[in-house]
Amino acid sequence: MVGLRYLSNVVSLELDRSKCNGCRKCVEVCPHAVYVIEEKRAIIVDRDACMECGACAQNCEPGAITVRSGVGCAAAFIYSALTGTEPCCGDSGSPTCCG
Ligand code: SF4
Ligand code: SF4
């Protein structure tokens, strides 16, 4: 799935490198090669490739990663593609809404 992209700068993914212990789990579980390890800690190298699946955050023991999985633009576009409906994230009107 590496290479799949949708919109720029709408992903909710955040990484707090100060909490990272360099375990590499995020690198191993991310299906879109969003992370690499640099100087013993993870960095985000391709934020816009993130599809907000949540796997990295679920596997990050120190809680260095936050992502709003299953909501927002990524989920809306995936659901739209699967169902043939218009994308709707259900977040319209919120301060973080991009629409
Ligand atoms: S899973 Fe968390 S602690 Fe492990 S390398 Fe990734 S960000 Fe760092
Ligand atoms: S939420 Fe999923 S796609 Fe996004 S960085 Fe984490 S594992 Fe990769």
DSSP string, 9-55: S----EE-GGG-----HHHHH-TT--EEEETTEEEES-GGG-----H
d(C-alpha 12, C-alpha 66), whole Å: 8
d(C-alpha 4, C-alpha 74), whole Å: 11
**Mutate which of 13, 17, 19, 25 for ligand 1 pocket (most atoms within 8 A of beta carbon):** 25
Report pTM. 0.74
Give yes or no for residue 15 CB within 6 A of ligand 2. Answer: no
Using the predicted structure, report yes or no on whether residue 87 has a pLDDT greater than 70.
Answer: no
CA 83 – ligand 2 centroid, Å: 22
pLDDT of residue 9: 77
- Which residue bears the tokens 């690499």? 36
Give yes or no for residue 22 CB within 6 A of ligand 1. Answer: yes
Q: Which residue has the higher pLDDT, 75 or 31?
A: 31
Using the predicted structure, report yes or no on whether residue 88 has a pLDDT greater than 90.
Answer: no
| pLDDT tens, residue by residue, 49-71 | 998 889 999 999 999 999 988 66
